[in-house]
Amino acid sequence: MLQKIYDWIDERVDITPIWRDIADHEVPEHVNPAHHFSAFVYCFGGLTFFVVVIQILSGMFLTMYYVPDIENAWRSVYYLQSEVAHGQIVRGMHHWGASVVIVMLLLHTLRVFFQGAYKKPRELNWMVGVLIFFIMLGLGFTGYLLPWDNKAYFATQVGLQMAEQVPIIGDELKVLLAGDDEIVGAQTLTRFFAIHVFFLPAALFALLAVHFILIRRQGISGPL
């Protein structure tokens, strides 16, 4: 049945070359843990992406219950944790995944650094990777405020004061993030929510696309 549907579409649109291009490519021997077990270090990039996928999916489902409003944010999180079936698990995935993704990203970065895989012609991909790292940190920072509990509130106070220390544009930057020059409140929360679920993910997708297209065009760097 599935084969028939596939054939029907393939006959008309010729999709086989498309997915072959994406999925069907040889893994060089020095990257394959089956040949040299130490090649598992090459998994960290893929693992980072895997956790990112978990973050995207669990985040999508969390927004079914979460409201970015100072009156209801904490209560909606509490409700989804305590009343909704498996809500605790899904928020747990998002909570722990947020840390795991940074760990994986750092391991991936260390591998690329110590293998010198960032060297010519792959400098551009290193730069894109650094941007992805900053986007991830931004996602972590903005997501931290959303439960609107004491930890979230005071962490954001500190974060905003750090932004304020930036030379010349510090004050403006802080107001831009907080939405108000004094209060960390309703406007801060909606801003952080918008940044967390729309702006940063959009930037992340674009950068990930560039990251992956570049690695496919340039290939994985050779063995040490």
Partner 1 sequence: MSEEKQQVSRRQFLNYTLTGVGGFMAAGMLAPMLRMAVDPVLKSTSSDGDFVNVGLAVEDITTTPQRVDWQIEQVDGWYESKPGRSAWVYKDDKGDIIALSPVCTHLGCVVSWEGNESHPNEFFCPCHDGRYTKDGVNVPGTPPLAPLATYEQKVENGILYLGKAISRKGA
Return the DSSP state at 33: T
The reply on whether position 61 binds partner 1 by CB under 8 A is: yes
The alpha carbon of 127 is separated from its chain's Cα centroid by a whole number of angstroms, namely: 16
Helices 170-178 and 150-164: crossing angle in degrees, nearest 10, is 150
Cβ closest to partner 1, residue 65 vs residue 212: 65
The reply on whether position 57 binds partner 1 by CB under 8 A is: yes
Question: Do 139 and 48 form a contact (C-beta atoms < 8 A)?
Answer: no
Interacting span for partner 1 (CB under 8 A) from 84-92, 152-160, 179-187, 206-214: 84-92
Cβ closest to partner 1, residue 67 vs residue 128: 67
Interface residue with partner 1 among 48, 55, 58, 221 (CB under 8 A) is: 58
Radius of gyration of the chain (CA): 21
Return the DSSP state at 63: T
Specify the 3-state DSSP secondary structure of 223: coil
Lay out the site mask for partner 1 across 136-175 (x = CB under 8 A, - = otherwise). ----------------------------------------
Positive or negative, the CA dihedral 189, 190, 193, 199 is: negative
Interface residue with partner 1 among 9, 15, 27, 89 (CB under 8 A) is: 89
Query: Which residue ranges make up the site for partner 1 (CB under 8 A)?
Result: 54, 57-58, 61, 64-65, 72, 75-76, 78-80, 83-87, 89-90, 93
